[in-house]
Amino acid sequence: MTRTVYVNGAFVPENEAKVSIFDRGFLFADGVYEVTSVLDGKLIDFDGHAKRLERSLSELDMPQPMPTDELLSVHRELLARNDLSEGMIYLQVTRGSDGDRDFVFPDPDTTKPSVVLFTQAKPIAQSAAAETGIRVISIEDIRWGRRDIKTVQLLYPSMGKMLAKKAGADDAWMIEDGFVTEGTSNNAYIVKDGKIITRHLGNEILHGITRAAVLRFAREAQMTVEERSFSLDEAMNADEAFITSASTFVMPVVEIDGRTVGNGAPGPVAKRLREIYLEESRNSAI
């Protein structure tokens, strides 16, 4: 099926969508993105994603391409036109193109941002991986220092996934100064003696929208949450481990660098949080 995508104000068939070769997203990775999950034809945590987009843009001195209510309308129109009931909507905003290549930012009054959205149909609530858990390897975190901005510079995370694949694993956790920062495209957690431990917010990690929701639900369910750095060693000796992201929700991790975490099966905390997250998200989807 040919998707209908959104590009700079128009809904067009995917093979007719065009962006300039001078677009700064293409030449400089000068752009930001969001991925919003869709369940039952509705958007999960749209407000969270819209707010983070606003922040990413403002951190990079990029103008907001449209007001949030308009952005919501575009998301909904795209869902309707593609008859999407489950999967994701990918949104990318770049600094646009002034028709040449120059390191200096173009004048935002004359160069408008490029805005692209497309749907990805995929079963995400029912997941075989969530039943068995995933295996991760550790790799050095050599990304830039502003990982809190959700930029499209995803080469290293992409290389990390390839290293994991070559090692027969599913994903990679990144390590800086001995401490786990996050997964290639997700936030990382361990559970020890009933406590949920995940790295504190800062410039070193992306402030996951799923992370915020999961920690809120965990606290509401009287679980103890510690937002602090944890080492690779601590992770290997944890009772449980898991990751969160918009497309995987809560996903148990059962092996790190070939060492079994806990008893090697998804743990009760991760399972419970996945259930709560899915239920609450379906209820509050818009």
Residue from 95, 135, 199, 211 in contact with ligand PMP (CB under 6 A): 211
Q: Closer to ligand PMP at the Cβ: 119 or 187?
A: 187
Q: Which of 190, 210, 238, 256 binds ligand PMP (CB under 6 A)?
A: 210
Q: Which is nearer to ligand PMP, 97 or 213 (by Cβ)? A: 213
CB of residue 20 vs ligand PMP: minimum separation in angstroms? 26
Q: Does 119 bind ligand PMP (CB under 6 A)?
A: no
Question: 232: exposed, middle or buried (C-beta count within 10 Å: 0-12, 13-18, 19+)?
Answer: middle
Pair of tokens at residue 252: 């148990």
186/37 Cα distance (integer angstroms): 14
Burial class (CB in 10 A: 0-12, 13-18, 19+), 208: buried
Q: Based on CB atoms, which residue is closest to ligand PMP, 138 or 244?
A: 244
Minimum distance of ligand PMP from residue 207's CB (angstroms): 8
Q: Which of residues 26-45 bind ligand PMP (CB under 6 A)?
A: 35
| Interface residue with ligand PMP, options 182, 204, 240, 255 (CB under 6 A) | 182
CA-to-CA distance for 277 and 286, rounded, in angstroms? Answer: 15
**78 contributes a contact to ligand PMP by CB under 6 A:** no
Complex with ligand PMP: residue 12 or 285, whichever CB lies closer: 285
Binding to ligand PMP by CB under 6 A, coded x per residue (else -) over 212-241, reads ------------------------------
User: How many amino acids of this chain bind ligand PMP (CB under 6 A)?
Assistant: 13
Nearest distance from residue 48's CB to ligand PMP, in Å?
7
Q: How many CB atoms lie within 10 A of CB 278?
A: 17
Q: Among 108, 101, 117, 125, which residue's Cα sits nearest to residue 41?
A: 125
Cα separations (Å) of 10 from 7, 17, 92, 118?
5, 9, 15, 12
Catalytic residue among 18, 51, 112, 150: 150
Binding to ligand PMP by residue 244, rule CB under 6 A?
A: yes
Check binding of 198 to ligand PMP (CB under 6 A).
no
Q: Which amino acid is at 178?
A: G
With the C-alpha atoms ordered 128, 133, 135, 140, is the resulting torsion angle positive or negative? positive
Active site residue 42: no
* List 50, 79, 246, 254, residue binding ligand PMP (CB under 6 A): 246
Give CA separation, 72 vs 55, 66, 68, 147, 151, in Å: 17, 10, 6, 25, 21
Sign of CA dihedral 203, 241, 268, 244: positive
Residues classed as catalytic: 150
Instruction: Give contact residues for ligand PMP (rule: CB under 6 A).
Output: 35, 182, 185-187, 206, 208-211, 244-246
